[in-house]
Chain A
Amino acid sequence: MNKILVGLLAGLILGAIDGATAWFYPETRPVIGGILVGSSFKGMLVGLASGWFARKVQSTKWGIVVGAALGLLFAFGVAAMDAAKGRQHYLEIMLPGFITGAIIGFSTQRASTPRSAS
């Protein structure tokens, strides 16, 4: 499967799962829909960028590093938006975002490269 498509799918699924875990925090339940959508979208952005990187660089190690860095960066953006609303959840958002980014980066590297017709 196409690396970018794998990144988008992995980002969507992992982002949705990550967002769904907010249900365990009663204070976030009223906004769980928005969190799910936002987290899935963030995951897809990380997946898109990781997939693009995986097409350029064939390295599991660097795929994980770049995926994790992108996950951390986007999670920081979300946490900063949350902080602007007066809620400080940097650790709760950035740490899982870092690991999901690494998983997405890994998945895009594992995806097979389509053979070009020569």
Chain B
Amino acid sequence: MDLSDSVLDHLRVVAALPDLTGTRYELEGEIGRGGMGVVYRARDRQLGRRVALKVLDSALAGEAPLIARLEHPAIVPIYEAGTLPDGRAYYAMKLVAGTRLDWYVAKSLSLAERLRVVRRVGEALALAHSRGAIHRDLKPQNVMVGEFGEVYVMDWGVEAVAGTPAFRAPEPSLDERSDIYALGALLEFVLPAPPPPALGAIARKAMNADRSLRYPDVTAWLADIERFQEGLAVEAWREPPLHKVRRFWSRNALLLWLLTAYAAVKFLLFFWGRR
């Protein structure tokens, strides 16, 4: 009985595998499943390299033409798209060896590294929006950090995907500002607790329930992050006067120490000369 069960299970698994006859790929294993299809690890026999092969549930190539238009270091490049003998669409893309963002930020990372990753995601989104594409389902599970620190945004723009609750904007129809909402949620996710108040404010502004009160575009969001990193006041936060003084001091600490040293030397020399 056990044997027949295992045989049946095996047959179910084999039957579910895509038939790659007529393609240059050879299946190696499953990587993951999404709402629109399954991603497999496959071997490109012609070029002798491993690829990620996304087999869609429908005959529509879906996001493939969209992603192919987005040439950016943080967007996984598409190598080829086609149709399987059973009519399902597939596309081959670069197989990213790395860590998912949610696992990556679980390590003890510096704030600068956390910001580098989200800025990279923001840069990819900015390019996509400039080409009229939106992501629709940005979340830590869709961001990979490669072994050399490269960042990849995956699973682009599937119309049918409704987004992941914690990262999905409240509005019913998604647009660029919905991606900005998700970007804010992503920033909030990667920040250490408690986050620096200015960065917390940037995340909150991006996640405003009223989309007209969010950043107008990703470039504005990126500019605010950059202002924070340069020690400048951010647009999203009206900082208290004491914080302003502290920020001014930390931004100009070296110069202020030099001026203090100059004043102290002058003062001491004056009294030393009066002895």
Contact = CB atoms under 8 A, between A and B. Distances in A.
A92 B273 contact: yes
Interface string A89-100: 001100110011
A64 B254 CA distance: 10
A95 B269 contact: yes
Interface in B178-198: none
Contact of B270 (A24, A99, A107, A110): A24
Contacts of B259: 103
Nearest to B264: A99
A106 interface: yes
Given A106-B254, A106-B255, A96 B262 contact: yes
Interface string B240-263: 000000000000001100110110
A113 to B, nearest CB: 15
A25 B273 contact: yes
Interface residues of A, number: 16
A68 B39 CA distance: 61
A99 B273 contact: no
Contact of B258 (A25, A92, A106): A106
Given A60-B254, A106-B254, A106-B255, A99 B261 contact: yes
Nearest to B262: A99
Nearest to B255: A106
Which 5 pairs across A and B sit closest by C-beta, in order of nearness? Answer: A99-B262, A103-B258, A95-B265, A92-B269, A99-B261
30 contacts: A21-B266, A24-B270, A25-B270, A25-B273, A60-B254, A64-B254, A64-B258, A91-B269, A92-B269, A92-B273, A95-B269, A96-B262, A96-B265, A96-B266, A96-B269, A99-B258, A99-B261, A99-B262, A99-B265, A100-B262, A102-B258, A103-B255, A103-B258, A103-B259, A103-B262, A106-B254, A106-B255, A106-B258, A107-B255, A110-B255
